[in-house]
Amino acid sequence: MNKRTRKQFALNQSPLGTVQGKAFTLIELLVVIAIIGILSALIVVGMSSTTQKATIAKAQVFSNSLRNSLMGNLVSEWRLDENANPSANRTPDTWGTNTGILGDGATATTFPTLVSTESSCVSGKCFGFDGGDYVNCGNASTLNFLAPITISAWIKTSIGSSQMIVGKEIDATHKDWQFEIFPTGLLGFEGSAFHRIGTTNLADGNWKQVVTTMTAAGSTNVRLYVNGIEEVYTQTGSTGDLGSNLALAFIGARYTTPVNHFNGLIDEVRIFNAAMPTSQIQQNYFIGLNKLFAKNQITQSDYQQRLADLATSFAKH
């Protein structure tokens, strides 16, 4: 083995850096280095300049290509761009096999509305929920989770009441997982015997990326993120896991009855069978943020502030 080969072998076998005692993988380090550089350029350069626009375009290409390399743990992805695929009142799982059935598949009053004006959504089209709609994603074994998991979505609501984003209600096994908005308008994740609740108000009528991760059983292993930034938590209970659950998985409502309907817009719901690192969560948020800015859904000042918040969060990690 020559010197260059030995060096490359060592590089492939060793962590490339650590943050707070945790080793970076090569891909995570590349994410952090690349995005910090992009964020720095975006913040420093004037928003109206040609250079700024070129920087955003390059960032978008980078983000989309990197996203494709990080999807090995994706279980299901509902882009919510279609309401008649593969048949009427269906929306596809574009990664897995868990096709979403709109409501009960027959009653129009339970159907979420397809928002076809792409400028109103984050990525492509999205679904509008009026407080009585839902998407039934079935109860396939791929949606019966033990940790680790990650659930992510983009949401927009002005209602600060109990609302389900995506989850499974308790069944006879007394196991459940529920990613939701609590009555106070705060993001939360619930498993059997615990709740973990964030501190950011989601009911302000703006698009937000919401993410939860769970590395192992118990609420102390749950993390919540809003717009790529980890939430400060309150919680009840400290034990319990998710476990196998035969109940149906719903987007936009609880399974029982159903109740706790979502009222607003939902886009890009994804479930992973791994706990996504903070760097990847922030990278995925960065993709959506650029799309919102390109569609004039956020102002220059809001865009710059969100980038500054994200850069500050990078510095902390």
Name the pTM for this structure: 0.80
For residues 41 and 138, state if they share a domain: no
How many domains does the chain divide into? 2
Residue 219 and residue 283 in one domain: no
- In the numeric block, the tokens 């882009």 are attached to 79
CA 147 to each of CA 24, 62, 172, 221: distance values in angstroms, whole numbers, following the listed order? 21, 30, 20, 9
Claim to verify: residue 78 and residue 63 sit in the same structural domain: no
Residues 172 and 231 in one domain: yes
Domain assignment present for 103: yes
Residue 240: inside a domain? yes
Q: Phi/psi zone of residue 268: left (φ > 0), alpha (ψ -120 to 50 degrees), beta?
A: left
pLDDT at position 80 is 98
> What pLDDT does residue 310 have?
85
Q: Is the residue at 1 inside a domain?
A: no
Contact 235, 202 (CB under 8 A): no
3-state secondary structure of 245: coil
Name the nearest CA neighbour of 175 among 243, 276, 94, 101.
243
What are the φ and ψ backbone dihedral angles of 253, each rounded to 5 degrees? -170, 160
215 and 96 together in one domain? yes
Q: At 48, which helix (H) or strand (E)?
A: none
Residues 144 and 198 in one domain: yes
Exposure string over 42-74, b if 16+ CB within 10 A, otherwise e: beebeeeeeebeebbeebbebbeebeeebeeeb
Same domain, 237 and 159: yes
Looking at the fold, whether 127 and 264 belong to one and the same domain comes out as yes
Are 226 and 203 found together in one domain?
yes
The rounded distance, in Å, linking the Cα atoms of 40 and 47 is 13
Domain assignment present for residue 31? The answer is: yes
Any idea what the CATH number is for the domain that residue 94 is in?
Answer: 2.60.120.200
Question: Which range marks the domain in which residue 307 is found?
Answer: 11-70+278-316
Q: For 183, which DSSP code?
A: T
C-alpha 103/C-alpha 90 separation (Å) is: 9
Give, to the nearest 10 degrees, the angle between helix 26-44 and helix 278-294: 40
Q: What integer pLDDT is reported at residue 14 of this predicted model?
A: 32
Q: Are residues 83 and 42 in the same domain?
A: no
Domain check: are 58 and 78 in the same one? Answer: no
> Nearest-CA neighbor of 127 among 169, 164, 155?
155
Closest among 256, 231, 141, 216 to 181, alpha carbons compared: 231
In a domain, 3, yes or no: no
Paired tokens of 239: 């034990």
Residue-by-residue pLDDT tens, the chain, 317 positions: 544 444 343 333 333 333 333 344 444 444 554 555 555 444 444 444 454 555 455 555 555 555 555 567 899 999 999 999 999 999 999 999 999 999 989 999 999 999 999 999 999 999 999 999 999 999 898 888 778 899 999 999 999 889 999 988 766 555 678 899 998 899 999 887 778 899 999 999 999 999 999 988 777 889 999 999 999 988 776 666 666 567 889 999 987 777 889 999 999 999 999 999 998 899 889 989 999 999 999 999 999 999 898 888 777 66
Among 289, 288, 280, smallest CA distance to 314 is for: 280
Domain membership flag for residue 212: yes
First to last CA, the chain: 37
- 79 inside domain: yes
Q: Is residue 22 part of a domain?
A: yes
Residues 44 and 184 in one domain: no
